[in-house]
Amino acid sequence: METKDGATPAVKQRVIDAVLAITASRGLDQATMREVAKEAGVSVGSVQYYCRTRDDMLVIACRHVMDRIVARGEALPRTGPVGSVVRAYAQEFLPLDEVRADEQRVYLAFVARAAVVPDLARLQHEFTARLRAACAEAFRLAQERGETHTAFDADVAASATVAMLDGLLVHLLSDPEGMPGPLAIAILDEHLARFVDIGIPV
C-alpha cells in the first residue's frame, strides 16, 4: 500500500525506530514531528500519517516495545520448574543491557503520560493486564505441579510481581548507581522464590 505521503510498512517501521531512538536517547520532549522525520529520513507528512500527536508516537512505539519483549519471552526454552521460566521471562523486562534500557525508557515516558492521559491509561491497563494474567497462569501451573513454597493467591502474587518488576525497572533506569543490575536480579529472585521454585537456591 502506497499513499501520497509514501506510507508503507517499511516507512512505518522507520518511524517507529526513529521514535524509539529519540525517546531513548534524548527523551520524549525531543520527539517532535520534525525530529522524527529527520531521524527516519522520511517526510513530516509520512510521520503524521502514522502519528498525529506525540501521544500517538508513544503508543506505536510502546506497542512495538511490548510486542518485542513478549516475543523474546515466548521464545524462551520451557524447561525446568515453571518458576525458572517466569524468572527468565521477567528478566526480559529489566533494563539490564542497552537494548532493553532503550526499550524501557520509551515505556517509562509512556507510563508518565498514562498517569495524566486517560486514553493512554487504558492502553497501559491492556499491557499490564496481559502480563499479570500470564504470570498468574504460570503461578497456578506451579501450584498444580507442587513447585511452590507456600500457599498464595496466584492473582495477587502476579500483581505484586509485575509491580516489583516495574519498580526495579524504574530504579535501574533512573538510579543506576543505587540499583546495579545484580542487585535487581537478586531482589527479583528473592521475590519469586518465596512463592515458587525458581530452579536456583536463593
Residues lying near its own copies in the complex (CB under 8 A) are found at 24-29, 54, 104-105, 108-109, 111-117, 120-121, 124-125, 128-129, 132, 156, 159-160, 162-168, 170-171, 173-179, 183-184, 186-187, 190-191, 194
Residues constituting the chain: 202
- CB environment 59-70: b (16+ within 10 A), e (fewer): bbbbebbbeebb
**Closer to its own copies by Cβ: residue 147 or 189:** 189
**Closer to its own copies by Cβ: residue 9 or 118:** 118
Of 63, 59, 32, 61, which is closest to residue 48 (Cα–Cα)?
Answer: 32
Name all contacts of 110-114 with Cβ < 8 Å and 24+ positions apart. Answer: 110/58, 110/59, 110/61, 110/62, 111/166, 113/28, 113/55, 113/58
**Closer to its own copies by Cβ: residue 74 or 175:** 175
Residues 6+ apart with CB under 8 A from 104: 65, 93, 94, 95, 169, 172, 173
**Closer to its own copies by Cβ: residue 5 or 70:** 70
Shortest CB 105 distance to its own copies, Å: 5
**Closer to its own copies by Cβ: residue 79 or 150:** 150
Shortest CB 40 distance to its own copies, Å: 20
Shortest CB 12 distance to its own copies, Å: 24
Shortest CB 188 distance to its own copies, Å: 9
- CB environment 15-45: b (16+ within 10 A), e (fewer): bbebbbbbbbeeebeebebebbbebbebeee
**Closer to its own copies by Cβ: residue 44 or 193:** 193
Residues 6+ apart with CB under 8 A from 182: none
Shortest CB 152 distance to its own copies, Å: 9
Shortest CB 96 distance to its own copies, Å: 14
